[in-house]
Amino acid sequence: MFEKRQTEVCALGQHIAMSAHKARRVIDQIRGRSYEETLMILELMPYRACYPIFKLVYSAAANASYSMGSNEANLLISKAEVNEGTTVKKLKPRARGRSYPIKRPTCHITIEVTDPTLPKYVRKNFLWSKKAKKLKPRARGRSYPIKRPTCHITIEVTDPTLPKYVRKNFLWSKKAKCKNKYTDVTYHDMYSNGGVWDKK
């Protein structure tokens, strides 16, 4: 049985202190581009909106790497949109007791990235059935057992280019060399002068 896999991840930035019009002229340049190309464009463009958009693109790529396990080099900007947010209204004092209104617009930016290299559908993991109940309730307070089969998979990796008994022979040869060396030193110390050492 197959299920649809998540291949798109988004990052949302709300109440960013700039107008939606100024953010859209930057967003229109990165829509549909790759992740690495987007970062290069945002670093070189001379607009103030590039910095918060850069942070959102970086955050969306980190979300995709964590949730989907995808490589950042394969990501594409599939969706990039800007919506108007709340407008902060203030009053600026002027001469003769007057006041002029000041409007501080905000915007909401959404960046969505996708990984086209990931398969769209994946096979369901049958080990999820372990979370189900082991007993199925029936009439009159009875219960029937439910068997959920599982399996253990073991994979062995070998190198056919290596000889079959390299490791064993190597350890034996090292042990033999050490033993012969220790014996030679002992005989040399005891019998080099023709007898046992003199205490004097």
Q: Is the pLDDT of residue 186 over 50?
A: no
User: Does a structural domain hold residue 52?
Assistant: yes
Q: Is the pLDDT of residue 67 over 90?
A: no
CATH code of 91's domain: 3.90.470.10
User: Does a structural domain hold residue 199?
Assistant: no
Per cent of the chain over pLDDT 70 is 61
pLDDT, position 108: 95
Task: Identify the domain containing residue 46 by its residue range.
Answer: 2-121
User: Does a structural domain hold residue 14?
Assistant: yes
User: Does a structural domain hold residue 165?
Assistant: no
In contact, 71 and 8? CB cutoff 8 Å: no
User: Does a structural domain hold residue 111?
Assistant: yes
- Mean of the pLDDT values across residues 144-169? 64
Distances (CA, A) of 197 to 12, 180, 183, 185, 186: 87, 22, 17, 14, 12
Q: Which residue has the higher pLDDT, 130 or 10?
A: 10
Phi, psi for 99 (deg, rounded to 5): -145, 135
pTM of the model: 0.57
Q: Which residue has the higher pLDDT, 81 or 173?
A: 81
Asked which of 12-16, 47-51, 74-78, 159-163 is least confident by mean pLDDT, the reply is: 159-163
Give the C-alpha separation, 82 to 29, whole Å: 13
User: Does a structural domain hold residue 96?
Assistant: yes
User: Does a structural domain hold residue 64?
Assistant: yes
pLDDT, position 68: 84
Total of domains in the chain: 1
pLDDT, position 85: 92
User: Does a structural domain hold residue 37?
Assistant: yes
